[in-house]
Structure formats: C-alpha cells, structure tokens
Amino acid sequence: MSTDALAAPVPLGEMPDQADPETKRIAGRVGMMLDRMWATMSDLDVSYDEYNAVKDWLIAVGEAGEWPLFLDVFFERVVERLAASKSSASQSCIQGPYYLPDSPELPWNGVLPMRRKEPGQPLTVRGRVLSSDGGPIAGALIDHWQADAAGLYSGFDPSIPEGNLRGKFRTNEEGAFEIRTIRPAPYMIPHEGPTGRLLRAAGWHPWRPAHLHYFVDAHGYRQLTTQLFFDGDPWLDTDVAGAVKSDLVLVPQPSPTGVSEVRYDFTLEPVAPRGPG
Ligand code: MBD
Ligand code: FE
C-alpha cells in the first residue's frame, strides 16, 4: 500500500463529476503544483516551527487584505512572461494590484485628472498605437493609471482624492495619443503589513522603480497590459516585483518649458491572424 507516501489528493478523473471541464482542468493543474510543493518541502526538510510560522504569516496576509499585493509582487511575473512569449504585441508587463476600472474617458491629447497643485515634475507621454500587422490604430483606448510624486495610488491611499491620476485616452485618426501628467515617484511596498514584514525579515528592499501603468485596447486586438519606466531610476535592476523589461525603460527628454517628455508606441496583436483579402 502507498498510503504512507505523499500522493496527489484523488487522482483526476475519479473525482465526483461536479465541476465544469475548465474548473476540473485547472484543479488538475493545482494538483500538479501541490505535488511539486510537497517535494520541495521534503527537500527543504521543513519543520513544525517553520510550518507554523509560515501558516500564521499567510493568515495575516489574508487578514490584512494583502493577497492581491503579495501575489502580484511575487507570482504575476511568471505568468506574464509566459503570456508575453506567445504574443506579437509590444512588450507587456504585470498589471499589479492597483487598477480601478471607472476612470473618465478624455480626448486623445488630454490632461490626466489631478489635484489643483499636483506635486511633481510635469510629464508628457506621447506616441501611437500600432498593429503588429502594420499601421496605426485609430480609436484605440489607452487606460492609464499611476502613483503620484509621493508614490501613492488614488483609491488605495485614503489621503489621495478618488480618481487622481487615472484616465482613458482614445487615439486620434493617426493612432496618436498625448497624455499630460506628472512624473510618479518610485513605489514602496507598504511596510506595516505582513508583505513588508517578510521583505524586512528577508533583507529584501521594498521598492519598485517609478512606473506608469497601461491597458491598451482596440476592436479586433488582444488587450495589452504594460508599464513604462524611466532611465536612471535606482530600482530598475532590483524591482521587488521583478517586472522591468529594457524595452519599457524610456529616456525622458527635457522640453524648453520644463516639461519632461517621453515617447512610446504600443503595438497590439490582432485577435486572429487575418487571411489574405
Ligand atoms: C505596484 O504599484 C505595482 O505596480 C505592482 C506590480 C506591485 C505592487 C505595487
Ligand atoms: Fe504600480
């Protein structure tokens, strides 16, 4: 008998037939991950003290509402790179935990909603949305969100007005956009909570380089999720979320009026390759 050894829960296919096929498929993959984790725990000779410490910590992550933060900081990078390797779009990047869907739609060359005296250096982001099979895409929707010059996100930090530095921009007939905003500061993972405690205990720094977040959508194209970063940022090489890709690091150009400017073209992948004619 094999009951003394580690084994997957119930072999797939012997489970009662109550889940839909996709849920069953994913559950089977969770089973494979559990198998690997059991093997890793055995390799590491995990003790009861270690098990209980990690169990208490994981419970605290849930109680603090930090599951979205913890998962996106430590795990989204893997799924994101796998998806990127199968796409002809321009470089993608993780979504992270701070997107909110209800920001206003603005003109192709609008000003991001901000406070009357929003701190930070003025920044213009300009470029086009292109198709990976050639040509600009008019009417594409660019959903932009970012932290402020203190590294805080509206909707998550109670001191920031709702909707601050979040907006949607629709490209013009040339597929162009021009977003007026301010330069965000590098972002520090909240340090009072369990995720911050883990970082401190492990001696890992809590920083993400300053970044701008994007969803880019157009009819007939797969949604692109990405981020833009700034050359010279001290945290580019050691992003705690491990998300930086060199294509996404932009060199800000000073303008005569003191505004910092960056240029970037987003390229989208058609949903289905188009046949000839
Ligand atoms: C962020 O601002 C972020 O973008 C990610 C991915 C994780 C934590 C905070
Ligand atoms: Fe972010």
DSSP secondary structure letters along 35-96: HHHHHHHHHTT--HHHHHHHHHHHHHHHHTT-HHHHHHHHTHHHHHHHHHTT--SSP-----
Residue 98 near ligand 1, beta carbon < 6 Å? yes
How much is the pLDDT for 8? 61
Residue 77: name the closest of 88, 61, 93, 97 by CA.
93
Residue among 67, 77, 79, 98 to mutate when testing ligand 1 (max atoms within 8 A of CB): 98
How much is the pLDDT for 4? 76
Ligand 1, atom 1, lies closest to the CA of 96
How much is the pLDDT for 277? 47
Mode of pairing for the β-strands spanning 207-208 and 187-188: antiparallel
* Sign of CA pseudo-dihedral 18, 22, 24, 30: negative
Ligand 2: centre distance to CA 136 (Å): 27
With H, G, I as helix, E, B as strand and everything else as coil, classify residue 129.
strand
Ligand 1, atom 4, lies closest to the CA of 96
- pLDDT tens, per residue, the chain with 277 residues: 456 777 665 555 555 666 789 999 999 999 999 999 999 999 999 999 999 999 999 999 999 999 999 999 999 999 999 999 999 999 999 999 999 999 999 999 999 999 999 999 999 999 999 999 999 999 999 999 999 999 999 999 999 999 999 999 999 999 999 999 999 999 999 988 999 999 999 999 999 999 999 999 999 999 999 999 999 999 999 999 999 999 999 999 998 888 999 999 999 999 986 555 4
How much is the pLDDT for 191? 87
Atom of ligand 1 nearest to the CA of 95: 6
Residue 208 near ligand 1, beta carbon < 6 Å? yes
Atom of ligand 1 nearest to the CA of 76: 6
Residue 73 near ligand 1, beta carbon < 6 Å? yes
How much is the pLDDT for 20? 87
Ligand 1, atom 3, lies closest to the CA of 96
How much is the pLDDT for 122? 96
How much is the pLDDT for 14? 59
Alpha helix locations (H) across the chain? Answer: 21-43, 48-63, 67-74, 76-84, 194-202
How much is the pLDDT for 3? 62
Ligand 1, atom 9, lies closest to the CA of 96
Identify the nearest ligand to the CA of 244 by its number: 1
